[in-house]
Structure 1
């Protein structure tokens, strides 16, 4: 292998008799280089957006969430709850009741997702990182309070300075709507706005209204033990999969335990599909660039007919000669890929450090939560890109090199 590789490297960097061969080889390597840069940068930007959005969701997502496989609410027996709470590396277990409702402030209204939580819920999240006004307070001296998202607050014109409460409405269970007096078909509860949160994600900022568990149970006509889920925070060194299995064993097959990723499985699946569809599109562009190696290698084989005869006379067999040109074609692809990888990683580094490509233009009406395109380089992506290019380059180089020696001699 050392001899064919040595000759292939000499052919790669030596000046050819016909300058067009040098130009063609350079164009081939350049095309592969550009395609590699596009693959590295595009996939890294996808990783950046995925990391950014996942971080936003993580502001509310527990480490583990327990809910029914079928059904909406359940009662968790105290002995089971105590077993979960006392598991090693379980830091907080909060009872939660979630349901759709309508929120109204004077003449302005919006649909909302009520999230009634137990008193220890504040230990499960980082309220200081998401609160833009007020505090996480749900009850004080018999008065009910709620924390709403910034988008919801803008729609209903509610804020912590309001001296009047906002009202929540939910349909009564097993009751038909009275068309003559629709309000009689709904439960109504009032609460003052104690805080406003924002994570700069429209889906989240317009979705939740946090309140006490008792407030939610009263609004939705549930008894004082019913909940829709358990949200669990683990210690830093907690092993998620191990604790998942332990909780599943305690509760049985009627329940499902989801980690952070599984709580938004559809979202992550969609991002992954989009990412690899983009990879395939760029791969076809790369394939066109790599196919040009066939032409460049064919021209080189024709030019080196005399060298092939000389090598044959010196004892090189057809297999060795074919291997020389196979490696030559592969080296063209590899050179373009390595240079493209270096430039792509350099661009990603510069984007991370200096924000070369901006999302916001610095004006007053900035629509994005970050100023620059987020970039995260994934080592596995780099391995896949390089393995793909080098494999395709080897296959493409095999086509012209297999004919070497048949017509020479």
Structure 2
């Protein structure tokens, strides 16, 4: 064991007489414990919220989505569809044609997105992940029926006895000054619910109705690829991309929610930066503790120099002293943060109210969070020891030259 490390270890240990330096050392250790645990808890909370929000977004996002890169729609290609269906892991393809139209029910009206779907809509992720989905048997008929999101139905005050709505869409056949809008009747046969942002926006109707409304025969907004649960999405995406002609693209759930994920990442980065500053403030306790320790142990420095210790070894003593305090605080902080996160995951101690019932606050701890917290804390602790170590070396050099240190 190096003599510098041995002496630093003795400085950290509790002496028979409790001094101001010992109290400052304990304070620095406790501040590192608290700041490390807080940063780890914040990261675990952000992980839980990210997982929760991702689950909410992915409920209505298909596993793989094929769309046109430039235009809004593309023509349905049976040959291309058959080739994609032959890819291993692909179960089926749901064809979708979406348009934005004005819906009116008596004196109430709303701008809605009509999602025209093919007859195999019931195998889609949208249908399977819905909290509520009334009968969609009308998809196989030629009737002008649809199901509306709960938010849309509430806005226009839909009832089972008053379920016929008027749909207005710009006329696509040239310029019609007397008749600029196409007007048709649509019967709302039921409701669905999957997520508030979708419930307040969408109506699901047969794709033939939307084709007739837009004069877009065989046009599609996108294809929703239904895959097996055990399939590897990335490999399937690569295989499908090889089959697509120029002008098409296939995106997975992460890419479809790129904006939301970027917003979550920026929020996470901001929170980490703010709490890293809290760690920086906590490391100042180590700085002041070392400064006070150097002032108190000037005689000890002179004695060690007279015994043959070099200025570099003197600096190592105070460096090891500060790092031992920091590492002890980091270790206990990681244990405290991980323990609290585990208790929250296991027992749901902290809860919040959601739709009249209490839900445990989502927390999920990752190994990378522990590594990140440890690296940041050690880095700030190293910065906190630089000036005190430099000062200790200067005092040792003055003692070595026989010049009394003047403060």
SS at structure 2 position matched to 1:37: helix
Specify whether residues 97 and 294 from structure 1 end up closer, same or farther in structure 2 by C-alpha distance, changes over 3 A only.
Answer: same
Is the deviation greater in 304-313 or in 94-103? 304-313
1:346-357 mapped onto 2 (5 Å cutoff): 346-357=339-350
In structure 1, distance between residues paired with 2:31 and 2:296: 23
SS at structure 2 position matched to 1:371: strand
In structure 1, distance between residues paired with 2:356 and 2:295: 56
Q: Which residue of 2 aligns with 1:376?
A: 364
Q: Does the aligned pair in 2 maintain the 1:127–1:136 contact within 8 Å?
A: no
SS at structure 1 position matched to 2:394: coil
Q: Which residue of 2 aligns with 1:390?
A: 378
Q: Which residue of 1 aligns with 2:320?
A: 327
TM-score by length of 2: 0.88
Is the deviation greater in 17-26 or in 228-237? 17-26
State the Cα distance separating 1:358 from its structure 2 match. Answer: 2.8
In structure 2, distance between residues paired with 1:367 and 1:57: 19
Q: Which residue of 2 aligns with 1:260?
A: 253
1:118-197 mapped onto 2 (5 Å cutoff): 118-125=118-125, 127=127, 129-132=129-132, 134-139=134-139, 141-159=141-159, 161-162=160-161, 164-173=163-172, 175-176=174-175, 178=177, 184-197=179-192
Q: Which residue of 2 aligns with 1:51?
A: 51
In structure 2, distance between residues paired with 1:189 and 1:379: 57
Q: 180, 192, 206: which one pairs with 1:212?
A: 206
Q: 220, 225, 238: which one pairs with 2:231?
A: 238
In structure 1, distance between residues paired with 2:161 and 2:387: 76
Q: Which residue of 1 aligns with 2:197?
A: 203
SS at structure 2 position matched to 1:402: helix
| Per-residue Cα deviation, 1:224-256 (whole angstroms, up to 9, x for no partner) | x11011111222332222222222222134122
| Per-residue Cα deviation, 1:36-81 (whole angstroms, up to 9, x for no partner) | 2322222222222221121112121111111111111111422211
Q: Which residue of 1 aligns with 2:293?
A: 300
State the Cα distance separating 1:269 from its structure 2 match. Answer: 0.3
Q: How many residues align?
A: 397
Q: Does the aligned pair in 1 maintain the 2:122–2:128 contact within 8 Å?
A: no
SS at structure 2 position matched to 1:114: strand
Q: Does the aligned pair in 1 maintain the 2:133–2:193 contact within 8 Å?
A: no
Q: Does the aligned pair in 1 maintain the 2:121–2:127 contact within 8 Å?
A: no
Q: Which residue of 1 aligns with 2:98?
A: 98
Q: Does the aligned pair in 1 maintain the 2:65–2:250 contact within 8 Å?
A: yes
TM-score by length of 1: 0.88
Which runs of 5 or more residues in structure 1 are unaligned?
361-365
State the Cα distance separating 1:390 from its structure 2 match. Answer: 1.2
Q: Does the aligned pair in 1 maintain the 2:152–2:201 contact within 8 Å?
A: yes
SS at structure 2 position matched to 1:277: helix
In structure 2, distance between residues paired with 1:4 and 1:34: 28
